[in-house]
Amino acid sequence: MKHFLVKSVVARVLVSGGSQNFTRHFVTASAAAPELKLRHLYGYLPRMSSTLAPSPAEKDQQQKQEKTASEEKRENENGVVSSYWGISRPKIKREDGTEWPWNCFMPWDTYRADVSIDITKHHEPATFGDKLAFRTVKFLNVLSHLYFKERYGCHAMMLETIAAVPGMVGGMVLHLKSLRRFQHSGGWIKALLEEAENERMHLMTMTELVKPNWHERLLIITAQGVFFNAFFLFYLVSPKVAHRFVGYLEEEAVNSYTEHLMAIENGKVENVPAPAIAIDYWRLPKDATVKDVIVVIRADEAHHRDVNHFASDIQYQGKELREAPAPLGYH
Ligand SMILES: [Fe+2]
Ligand SMILES: [Fe+2]
C-alpha cells in the first residue's frame, strides 16, 4: 500500500511538473522572443512543435525566410553568388535609403578628408639619411615628369601604384616583428595598412578616370616588381630612413596634385563629374567633380606625409614605433 502511494505521488509530480515546465517554456518562448526561443524549443521538442498552430509573428518570420530564400535562389540563377555556406552580407543602405552598391568597401570605411591640412609643410633634410631620401625622391620625380609630361591623370595613376606599396610593406614587417617578439605594435600595423588601403582607393578612383595604354601598364608592372623588393630590403635595413623616404614621396604627391588642380583651373584638364566610387568613399556631394576629388586626395597625401615623417622622427629619437601612439582612425 505504502509502495502504491509513493508511486502514485511520484507519478503525479512528474506528470504535473513536466507539463508545467512545458507550458512555462512555451509561453516564455512565444511571448518574449518568438524567433529565437521557438527555434530553441523546436530543437528540443520537435514532435510537440509540429502539432502547434503558428502565431502571426511566426508566420511573418516564415514568410520573410521564404522570401529571402527565393531572392537568393534567383540571384544565384542569375550568376551572382550571394552567400557562402549560408553566410550572406546583410542589406546595407546609404543614409538616403538607397542600397549600398560597393562590395570593396563599406559605409564605415568612408570618411570626410581634412582639407584644412597644411599642404605646404616640408621636412628640412637634416641627417645623411634624410638627404639621401630627399635626393632619391627628387631624382625619381624628375624621371616621372620627363616621362608623363602634362598627362596628369596617367602620372597620378603611376604614382598611386607606387604609393600603395610602402604602407603594405611596413605593416607586413611590423606584423612579423610583433609575431616574433610577442609584442604589441602600438597600433602601427593598422595605421600603415590603413594608409596602403587609402592609397589603393586613390588608384581605384584614378582608374575610373584614366585608361592606361600598354606601355604604361608594362611600366607599372616593372616598377612594382622592382619597388616592392627594393623597399622591403630598405625597410629591413633602415626603417627610419624608409619612412623619411615615404614622407618625401608624399610631399611630391602633394605637389603633383597641386599641379593637377592648376591644370583643371586653367582648362588644360577637363573638370568631369567625379566617379561614383569617389563620391561614396569621401562622402562627396552627388554633383562633385574631379576637382573636388583631387582636393581630397591631396589632403590624404598631406596626412600620409605627416604620418611618415612622424614615424621617422620617433625612430631618430632612438625609440620604437610602438612606443608612440599610432595615428589611427583618420581613414
Ligand atoms: Fe595617393
Ligand atoms: Fe599618399
Expressed in angstroms and rounded, the spacing between residue 192 Cα and the centre of ligand 2 is 11
Q: Is the pLDDT of residue 138 over 80?
A: yes
Shortest CA distance to 300 belongs to which of 197, 211, 165, 157?
197
pLDDT attached to residue 44: 34
For residue 69, how far is its CA from the centre of ligand 1 (angstroms)? 42
Output the pTM of the full model. 0.75
Q: 323: annotated binding-site residue?
A: no
Ligand 1 mean position, distance from CA 210 (Å): 15
Give me ligand 1 centre to Cα 180, in Å.
Answer: 31
Q: Is the pLDDT of residue 271 over 50?
A: yes
C-alpha 186 – ligand 1 centre gap (Å):
24
Q: What is the pLDDT of residues 273-284, one digit of tens each?
A: 999 999 999 999
Supply the pLDDT for residue 70.
Answer: 66
Region 79-92: mean pLDDT is 73
- b/e 150-185 (16+ beta carbons within 10 angstroms → b): eebbbbbbbbbbbbbbbbbbbbbbbbebbeeeeeeb
Alpha helices by DSSP H, the chain: 2-31, 34-44, 46-50, 56-77, 128-148, 152-181, 188-209, 214-237, 239-265, 276-281, 290-316
Give yes or no for a contact between 121 and 302, defined as CB atoms under 8 angstroms apart.
yes
Average pLDDT over residues 10-16: 46
Consult the annotation and say whether 202 binds a ligand: yes
Note the ligand closest to the C-alpha atom of 158: 1
Task: Pick the ligand that lies closest to the CA of residue 161.
Answer: 1
Ligand closest to 202 (CA) is 1
Which ligand has the minimum distance to the alpha carbon of residue 257? 1
| Residue 201: CA count within 13 A, CB half-sphere | 27
Give the torsion through C-alpha atoms of 192, 194, 197, 203, to 10 deg. -80
Q: Collapse the DSSP code of 75 into the 3-class scheme (helix H, G, I; strand E, B; otherwise coil) and give the result.
A: helix
17-21, 251-255, 277-281: the lowest-pLDDT one? 17-21
Taking the C-alpha atoms of residue 139 and residue 305, their distance in angstroms, rounded to an integer, is: 18
- Which has the closest alpha carbon to 150: 4, 264, 32, 285? 264
- Judge contact between 252 and 304, C-beta under 8 A: no
Contact 77, 51 (CB under 8 A): no
Give, to the nearest 10 degrees, the angle between helix 290-316 and helix 152-181: 40
**Ligand 2 center–CA 2 separation, angstroms:** 90
Q: How far, in Å, is the centroid of ligand 2 from the Cα of 175?
A: 21
259 is in an annotated binding site: no
CB 284 within 8 A of CB 278: yes
The predicted structure's pLDDT at residue 260 = 95
257 CA → ligand 1 middle, Å: 9
**Cα 179 to ligand 2 centroid, rounded to whole Å:** 27
Per-residue confidence (pLDDT) for residue 310, from 0 to 100: 96
What ligand has the least distance to the C-alpha of 302? 2
Cα–ligand 2 centroid distance for 36 (angstroms): 48
301 Cα to the center of ligand 2, angstroms:
4
What pLDDT shows up at residue 15? 43
- The confidence band for 178, taking pLDDT boundaries of 50, 70 and 90, is very high
Nearest ligand to residue 204 Cα: 1
Contact present, 202 and 213 (Cβ < 8 Å): no
Q: Buried b / exposed e across 259-277, counting CB within 10 Å, b at 16+?
A: ebbebbeeeebeeeebbeb
CA dist., res. 110 & res. 99, Å (int): 15
